Chain A
Amino acid sequence: KAGVTQTPRYLIKTRGQQVTLSCSPISGHRSVSWYQQTPGQGLQFLFEYFSETQRNKGNFPGRFSGRQFSNSRSEMNVSTLELGDSALYLCASSYNDPYEKLFFGSGTQLSVL
């Protein structure tokens, strides 16, 4: 069974641009969660999608948004990038409930210059 796939693996953007990250969950998993990981703040929850609906949301500004498609694939978008958005963005999937077991992708490393 293929694991969680995130693309691209690395991204370099400049301030003010926008970016879209993609996540393909494990086949059969319907819940997809997104996290931002930085050395100073650790892992911070962005949002969780289940069956194309946002089920939970963290404390991030509206520049961070996401969506989930009918095949459970998910995308997250960050608009008007700021230097502080530089981070590793992790996607995790689970069958139903993210509090049972999360399967993480390797992440997308975003650098904002």
Chain B
Amino acid sequence: AQSVTQPDIHITVSEGASLELRCNYSYGATPYLFWYVQSPGQGLQLLLKYFSGDTLVQGIKGFEAEFKTSQSSFNLRKPSVHWSDAAEYFCASSPNAGNNRKLIWGLGTSLAVNP
């Protein structure tokens, strides 16, 4: 069965430091992949998505993610974290074909940013 794993439940980084949030998916073929962010009291917002093509995807707020089929990973990165990036981050995947495509979500990684 399709699954998404975010190995890190909670991460703390200092403001200005680089960030990498891990995401691994389990699916027989190349899925559609997404990263969403959920800030306190706000709805989830799409950061970036990968459907096909260039494996390095640029998103909003200075985030990027790289799709690595050999590792079944889609890790999210940011070179310099801002205090406003503190939030919950969710990775999600969906099969790229078929009639029963549903988004499968990881459990999320909570990011804290130290001043």
Closest Cβ–Cβ distance, residue B103 to chain A (whole Å): 6
Question: Do the beta carbons of B103 and A98 come within 8 Å of each other?
Answer: yes
Given the known interface contacts A42-B107, A43-B90, A99-B94, the answer about A56 and B101 at a Cβ–Cβ threshold of 8 Å is yes
Question: Do the beta carbons of A99 and B103 come within 8 Å of each other?
Answer: yes
Residues of A within 8 A of B43 (CB): 3-4, 90, 103-107
Interface residue range, chain A: 20 to 34
- For A33, A58, A100, the residue with the greatest tally of chain B CB atoms inside 10 Å of its CB is A100
Residues of A within 8 A of B74 (CB): none
Residues of B within 8 A of A42 (CB): 90, 105-108
CB of B115 within 8 Å of the partner chain:
no
Q: Mark B24-46, 1 if CB is under 8 A from A, else 0.
A: 00000000100010000111111
Question: Do the beta carbons of B32 and A56 come within 8 Å of each other?
Answer: no
> With A and B bound together, what is the CA distance between A56 and B104 in angstroms?
13
Contact of B105 among A3, A43, A106 (CB under 8 A): A43
Closest 10 CB pairs of A and B: A104-B43, A43-B105, A42-B107, A104-B44, A45-B102, A106-B43, A101-B46, A99-B94, A99-B32, A42-B105
Q: B interface vs A, CB < 8 Å? A: 32, 36, 41-46, 49, 90, 92, 94, 100-108
